[in-house]
Chain A
Amino acid sequence: MDALNNFWSVYSNLVLTLGTNALLALSIWLTLSCGMLAMANAAFMGIGAYTSAILTMTYGVPFPVAIAAGMAAPALTAFVIGKPTLRLSGVYLAMATLAFGEVVRIVVLNAESLTGGALGLNGIPPITQWWHVALALVLVLLGLWRLRRSKVGRAFEAIKEDETAAGLMGIDVQAHKMLAFVLGGAIAGLAGVLNAHQTFFIGPNEFGFDRGVDILTMTVLGGINGLTGPVLGGVILTILPEALRAFGDFRLVVNGVILVLIVLFLPKGIWDPARFRQWFGRKGAAA
């Protein structure tokens, strides 16, 4: 029991971060599964973080309410910008959402009275427990797993492969894209809330371009063909910098090298059912 306590006191932050990163990776996976590369999830995370932090810090709102608000705010934002933005496709969508993310970051930077500006928000009550994160992850995974096996999941897959054909199957393509985008935003917001109440400080620079790129990397690396991939990617990319501490100043360099190597040698990400099928010789469609 002592050993467990020791482990926890040293690594608890890491484990919690693992959980929130997995959530973030799943949030971007959701939009990817619908064929959209939407890079606004870091911004949605930030909106969730700030909304909930302001509520708990200034108004002493109970945690569950803060969580709900932290999910609703980004979801609403996603809905509003989704309408014009989701018409775009491919790279344009990616760039538009990236741009939006940067705009959010800068607005936060400037709304000093509300968000503390560049200095961020300090002293957020550290109320996230490990079971919050675990529960959130389990619920999200369950929900997404269900989604995949339903007509909505099939619709997403169809849209990803061929939007026109999907539309002609009676699928309302725009509505489904919006659903993926808004849900993804809500999940990212959830991660933001949990993260903010664990690190007791948040600043605008944590939710910008670099974070967005991080999240994307986790997902693509982990494998986009299922739910395991993003979670795995989140785990690996959280642990990797820690595991590489031995390399001292150059540990991030090694991080980058590993990233490049994985991209070069594991095309569909680490968790790739199709490759496993090849290795184990089973026939059949992707799960």
Chain B
Amino acid sequence: MLEQQLVNALSLGCVYALFALGFTLIFGVLGVINLSHGAVFMVGAYAAVQAMARFDLPLWAGLLFAFVFCGLLGLLIDFLVLRPLRARNAPHLIPMIATIGVAIILNNGIQGIFGAENVRFPAGVVSGESLDLAGIHLTALELGIILLSFVLMGVLMVALKRTQLGRALRAIAESPKAAYLLGINVEGLFFLTSFAAAALGGLAGVLIGLYSNAVFPLMGQPMLHKGIAVIILGGMGDIRGAMLGGLFLGFAEVLSVAYIGSTMRDAVAFGLLFLVLLVRPKGLFGSMQERKV
């Protein structure tokens, strides 16, 4: 039934949006297409599983752990790999390739440590309860995902639009040099962005891991593809666009699975993307020019 599909789509879309947000933040502020974001997403899921399994922690603690762990991971990646490249003013292809290397390290490292099979969250971490509203069945997990995502996105939007920090970030996205000349601590904000983006990615990883009950080393790859589709659909570097794009993709996928068939699901994302790029290269919401270096 349509309403049910829409609700399923909403929770899926929220996770896509969270993932895309991190990806877009890095692109918008640091100017880098971070192809290791999928791997970080995956690490988040593993981090949560490990923390919860070994220390018998509840879900919220697992989420928090994944958030912080991935944030630090993102910070590390930025410090070791992206920062030296920034200092060199490398053309934007180069950092992208470096992140590919990081993704290879993470994906295969995790596989080497934990094996390639599916790992599951400890049983019973998510309450089995569900809500039945007007004939729509909403599990606790879906509700949790939707609430958490909206809260996070809301906080992010407010931070960006109404705080000094947000203005500083937007200034950097426009032109790092100009921001620097205005006295903004550009490097510090790069670190902050790397942390936040990776943390969001890791969180998304936990949520998807719970949603599909599957955590495995390559789970980040398809997400990465979708993340790219989302940020282009939404306009590269545009936060609102990333969120709306993620939701949109969630809806498009679920509806196409329901009405067309599951194998074409991925084609939907990319076909749409291709068309949008031809008609409106800046994405549905993007007004962002490629940044002035």
Contact = CB atoms under 8 A, between A and B. Distances in A.
Interface in B79-138: 81, 84-85, 88, 90, 92-95, 97-98, 100-109, 111-112
B114 to A, nearest CB: 11
Given A92-B281, A103-B274, A209-B225, A253 B109 contact: yes
Contacts of B93: 37, 216, 220
Contact of A99 (B84, B104, B270): B270
Given A85-B278, A106-B264, A209-B225, A260 B102 contact: yes
Given A220-B97, A257-B101, A95 B108 contact: no
Contacts of A89: 290
A264 B81 contact: yes
A60 interface: no
A225 to B, nearest CB: 13
B277 interface: yes
Contact of A103 (B100, B105, B270): B270
A174 interface: no
Contact of B290 (A37, A90, A217): A90
B263 interface: yes
A252 B267 CA distance: 29
B219 interface: no
Interface stretch (B61-69, B157-165, B228-236): B228-236
Contact of B225 (A92, A102, A255, A257): A102
A256 B105 contact: yes
A58 to B, nearest CB: 23
B104 A252 contact: yes
B274 A99 contact: yes
Interface string B268-291: 011101100110011000000010
B94 A220 contact: yes
B108 A250 contact: yes
Contacts of A63: none
A91 B105 contact: no
Q: How large is the interface on B (under 10, 10 to 19, 20 to 34, 35 or more residues)?
A: 35 or more
Interface in B235-281: 236, 263-264, 266-267, 269-271, 273-274, 277-278, 281
B97 A217 contact: yes
Nearest to A208: B225
B241 to A, nearest CB: 14
Contacts of A216: 93, 97
A84 B275 CA distance: 10
A30 interface: no
A88 to B, nearest CB: 5
Contacts of B270: 99-100, 102-103, 106
B273 A95 contact: yes
Contacts of A249: 108, 111-112
Contacts of A209: 221, 224-225
Nearest to A96: B277
A250 B267 contact: no
Interface in A199-227: 209-210, 213, 216-217, 220-221
B47 interface: no
A109 interface: yes
Given A91-B290, A95-B232, A259 B97 contact: yes
Interface of A: 37, 84-85, 88-92, 95-96, 98-100, 102-103, 106-107, 109-110, 209-210, 213, 216-217, 220-221, 249-250, 252-253, 255-260, 263-264, 267
Interface of B: 33, 35, 81, 84-85, 88, 90, 92-95, 97-98, 100-109, 111-112, 221, 224-225, 228-229, 232, 236, 263-264, 266-267, 269-271, 273-274, 277-278, 281-282, 290
Given A256-B108, A259-B97, 20 more contacts: A85-B278, A95-B273, A98-B228, A99-B271, A99-B274, A100-B270, A103-B267, A103-B270, A103-B274, A209-B221, A217-B97, A250-B112, A255-B108, A256-B103, A257-B105, A259-B98, A259-B101, A260-B105, A263-B85, A264-B98
Q: Which 3 A-B pairs have the closest CB atoms?
A: A256-B104, A259-B101, A256-B105
